[in-house]
Amino acid sequence: MTARDEVLGRIRAANAAAGHPAPQEVPRDYHRAGAHPAGAPELLELFRDRLVDYKATVLEAPADDVAKAVRAALADATGRVVVPPGLPDGWWPDGLAATRVTDDGLSPADLDTAAAVLTGCAAACATTGTIALDGSPDQGRRAITLVPDVHVCVVRTDQVVQTVPEMLAALEPTRPITFVSGPSATSDIELERVEGVHGPRTLIVVLTG
Amino acid sequence: MSTFLGIPAPRGVGHLRGDRSFPDAARGALADSQLRRNLGHATRVIRGKRAAVVGELDDWEQLRLAGSALKAATMARLDEHLERLEQEVTARGGTVHWARDANEANAIVTRLVQETGASEVVKVKSMATQEIGLNEALEAAGIEAHETDLAELIVQLGGDLPSHILVPAIHRNRAEIREIFLREMPGVDPELTAEPRKLAMAARAHLRERFLRAKVAISGANFGVADTGTLLVVESEGNGRMCLTLPETLITVMGIEKVVPTWQDLEVFLQLLPRSSTGERMNPYTSAWTGVTPGDGPQAFHLVLLDNGRTAVLGDDLGRSALHCIKCSACLNVCPVYERTGGHAYGSVYPGPIGAVLSPQLTGVEDNASLPYASSLCGACFDACPVRIDIPSLLVKLRAQHVDEQRKRAVPSAEAIAMAAASWVMSSPRRFAAAEKGSRAGRLLGRRAGRIRTLPPPLSAWTASRDAPRPPSETFREWWARERGGDS
């Protein structure tokens, strides 16, 4: 008999021994939606506050001039800045010292030599200060937002929802998804929080729209 | 198959038992003042952080009730959810393996690694692989396993054992960690200071090359979503993302109880888990992947579903709720017993209050008989538990099970003899009065301090770690007879 059949058989026997407990009705009277619609000023205020609390940097940009804030975010970047294949037109600023490199399957070693990465996002949650990336063309592969030390992420205000349930509902589960809340951090030494271990040590959010 | 009915499910094997009883193991920990300082500081800090972020949510109790109901509902249909998970993972290019116990899981993972030709793997911190002793099994097969979580790295380099579910090196302070790094990390800067930032950067440099060259990664899973086949790992440092994203092959070992029915159910657990475990609104990184995605991440994905005693726990009508545990470790940080003894005394990879119920349930209580007593039954663990596991009640139940098993023994224990004697004395008012008077002899002890520091054997077992009160000069019955005797 296969292990599969045996484990499933044991589960059925166990549930039979426990008297076939009926699945309980799940009470979902927690907040499934926030008090504010996506992009409401109250949410943007909360989102900024949460991001800063987790040591991310927040820059603002009008919808038609994202490049201005991106230029400020990448002012110190020298060398190469990786961008996903579907970076929206108008996000890349003129006159940067850094070179734009579009990801076409760069190796981990190549990514390790890049100064920064510039992407969009799929959704964001204000209550927790979280950004969700799902591998869409403006976000690229997971590796590109992981290996370079600086991640500049453009978030449209209409992507910012209030609660975790709203953020999850905005995503397609079968895509590769990364939830990011502030830069990489550890609390493993005497529970003292240190920002920046293996992931990007700097997260800059450009809020636009 | 119907042949399973009536056959008890096999118990779990692996790192679930210590070589000493809890009281023996705790004695050394209690005498270690450095350890007690580290633990006291760490648990106090994390308790404060947790309380603050839980206080921010006005629907915390509703989330706990939903989490508890979701877990119960999942267990009631666990077979169906696992079959669905298998179907969805397979449909999206993954391969699912089933393991009856630790040995079988280790054999599967070892074979999968060998088939890639790799002689080393990078690992994401995972309780399941700790439980089955995977690193040791891989080492025996000539495969080097690199732990990449900072705390697990500290434990691994120190030749040590984890002592906490969330922060396994909680028993070490910065000076001890610096010593370990200087001794064990090749090429580390000899000027390295004990500042946490400097130590974290040393770990970053140490692991960077390993991440970039790794061909195979091994992880656990915090959740596996049945209706989409999605696996999730919740972490902070980015070491998880490195392992889950860069290598060509990913092998995930997941306890069968980690399945959740739907993607929507994560909206409950992704709120309960970070706030309960690290005291954060959300942990810095969570990765979710479904099978393989062409062009993004590992192109070979294996999911190993692990039983190892879980179905035995499931078969226990009252005890099955211990499987609801989402391994947040909130119960450890509020437990007065854990705070004083640390995790090693529990002898299992699952320490603290949840370990004191889960380990004996996974192994059978006779194999972990002292753990259900490793509690003051104060109830703080139940209040802290995000899925409302009634740990104190489960502990009492396990104690009763243990006592029942003791009764069956041919040679009665000292405790059984004492209880039988107490029962004989208390069943007769005359005998009880005589015993009360006799207890006055105890006043000879503890005359100066007003309490007794050491009783003669076998009662010395009681006074080894606490004082006994000096018996009063007058028994209650004597007092009653003197004060109220005339009224009756």
Among A150-164, B185-199, B311-325, B399-413, the range of highest mean pLDDT: A150-164
Closest-CA residue in chain A for B288? A177
Which tokens hold the place of A156? 């449209």
The verdict on B278 touching A (C-beta cutoff 8 Å) is yes
From A13, A169, A186, residue closest to B236, measured CB to CB: A186
- For residue A196, the chain B residue with the least C-alpha distance is B237
What is the pLDDT at residue B169?
Answer: 94
Interface contact flag, A191 B59, Cβ < 8 Å: no
The domain locations on chain B are 22-312, 414-484
Is there a domain that residue A151 lies in? Answer: yes
Average pLDDT of span B166-174: 93
The answer to whether B111 and B251 have CB atoms below 8 angstroms apart is no
- What is the pLDDT averaged over residues A201-205? 97
CB-based contact A23 B72, cutoff 8 Å: yes
ipTM comes to 0.97
Q: What does the pLDDT read at residue B2?
A: 39
Parallel/antiparallel/unpaired status of strands A57-61 and A160-161:
unpaired
Q: What is the distance between the alpha carbons of residues A20 and A14, in angstroms, rounded to a whole number?
A: 9
Given B66, B150, B282, which is nearest A197 (Cβ)? B150
Contacting residues of A for B296, CB less than 8 Å apart: 135, 141-143, 176
Q: Which of B311, B317, B332, B387 to mutate to test the interface with A (most CBs of A within 10 A)?
A: B311
Tell me if chain A has a CB within 8 Å of the CB of B76.
yes
Strand-pair partners of B216: B249
Average model confidence (pLDDT) for chain B?
92
Strand pairing of B120-123 and B144-147? Answer: parallel
Phi first, then psi, for residue A128 (nearest 5°) are: -110, -5
Q: Give, as one character, the DSSP assignment of residue B56.
A: T
Residue A5 placed within a domain: no
Contacts A10 to B, Cβ<8 Å = 4, 9, 307, 311, 314-315
Does residue A49 sit at the B interface (CB-CB below 8 Å)?
no
Q: Is the bond preceding residue B458 a cis peptide, omega within 30 degrees?
A: yes
Using a pLDDT cut of 70, give the percent of chain A over it.
100
Classify residue A9: in a domain, yes or no: no
DSSP 8-class letter at A114: -
Report which listed range, A8-22, A192-206, B285-299, is most confident.
B285-299
pLDDT tier, B7 (very low <50, low <70, confident <90, very high otherwise): low
Report the residue of chain B nearest A5, measured CA to CA.
Answer: B1
| Residue of chain B minimizing CA distance to A191 | B42
**pLDDT value at B446 more than 90:** no
Say if residue B330 is exposed, middle or buried (CB neighbours under 10 Å; 0-12, 13-18, 19+).
buried
Task: Report the residue from A15, A168, A187 with minimal CB separation from B267.
Answer: A168
Alpha helices for chain A (secondary structure H): 3-17, 41-53, 66-73, 108-112, 164-169
Nearest CA in chain A to B88: A174
Which CATH superfamily hosts domain B22-312?
A: NagB/RpiA/CoA transferase-like (3.40.50.10420)
**B375 vs A: CB within 8 A:** no
CA distance A165 to B159: 42
Mean pLDDT of B142-147: 97
CATH code of A143's domain? 3.40.50.10420
Whether A179 is in a domain gets the answer yes
pLDDT at B3: 42
Please list every residue in chain B whose beta carbon sits closer than 8 Å to the beta carbon of residue A127.
281
Give the DSSP H/E element, type plus range, for residue B199.
helix B196-213
In the predicted model, is pLDDT for residue A117 greater than 90? yes
The DSSP code sequence of A90-121 is: T-SPTT-SSEEEE-SS--HHHHHT--EEEE--
Q: Is pLDDT at B411 greater than 80 in this prediction?
A: no
What letter would DSSP give residue B308?
Answer: T
Confidence of residue B435 (pLDDT cuts 50, 70, 90): confident
Asked whether B349 and B16 are in contact (CB, 8 A), the reply is yes
Q: Which of A143, A165, A174 sits opposite B290 (nearest CB)?
A: A174
Binding-face residues of A in 3-32 toward B, CB within 8 A:
3-32
Residues 6+ apart with CB under 8 A from B174: A189, A190, B194, B195, B196, B199
The answer to whether residue A203 is domain-embedded is: yes
Question: How much is the average pLDDT of A110-131?
Answer: 97
Smallest CA–CA distance from A132 into chain B, residue: B286
Q: How many CB pairs under 8 A join A and B?
A: 270
Opening angle at CA B24, ends B19 and B27, nearest 5: 135
Q: How far is A121 from chain B (nearest CA, A)?
A: 14
So what's the pLDDT on residue B133?
96
Full DSSP string of B251-287: EEEEEGGGEES-GGGHHHHHHHHHHHHTS-SS-SEEE
Contact B79 A194 (CB under 8 A): no
Q: Which of B203, B305, B315 sits opposite A13 (nearest CB)?
A: B315
CA–CA separation, A52 and B45 (whole Å): 21
pLDDT tens by residue, A61-72: 999 999 999 999
- CA torsion sign for B443, B447, B449, B455 is negative
Across the interface, whether the CB atoms of A197 and B69 are under 8 A apart is answered no
Binary contact (A8, B72; C-beta < 8 A): no
Q: Which helix (H) or strand (E) holds B113?
A: helix B102-116
Give pLDDT, residue A21.
86
pLDDT at B426 over 60: yes
Select, from the ranges A20-29, B83-92, B311-320, the one with the highest average predicted confidence (pLDDT): B83-92
Chain B residues touching A3 at Cβ < 8 A:
97-100, 104
Chain B contact probe: residue of A106, A166, A189, A202 with most B CBs at under 10 A: A189
Structure confidence at residue B135 (pLDDT): 96
Smallest CA–CA distance, residue B168 to chain A, in Å, is: 8
A-proximal residues of B, 1-60, CB under 8 Å: 1, 3-5, 7, 9, 38, 41-42, 45-46, 59
Point out the least confidently predicted range of A97-101, A185-189, B84-88, B426-430. B426-430
In 3D space, the residue among A153, A182, A193 whose CA is nearest the CA of residue A70 turns out to be: A153
Q: What is the pLDDT of residue B276?
A: 98
Domain that holds residue A156: 36-208
pLDDT at res. A202:
96
Q: Chain B residues with CB inside 8 Å of A178's CB?
A: 241, 285-288
Residue B311 Cα, gap to closest chain A Cα (Å): 6
CA-nearest of B201, B199, B261 to B230 is: B261
pLDDT digits (tens, 9 = 90+) for B316-337: 887 899 999 999 999 999 999 9
Per-residue confidence (pLDDT) for residue B8, from 0 to 100: 67
Q: Does A55 touch chain B (CB under 8 A)?
A: no
Mean pLDDT in residue range A139-158: 98
Q: How many domains does chain A have?
A: 1
What six digits make up the tokens of B486? 């005339």
- Say if residue B486's pLDDT is above 80: no
Using CB atoms and an 8 Å cut-off, which of residues 68-87 of chain A contact chain B? none
Q: Is A186 helix (H, G, I), strand (E, B) or coil?
A: strand
* Closest residue by Cα to residue B247 from A186, A122, A149, A146: A146
Which of B201, B241, B310 should be substituted to probe chain A, the one whose Cβ sees the most A Cβ atoms within 10 Å? B241
| % chain B with pLDDT above 90 | 77
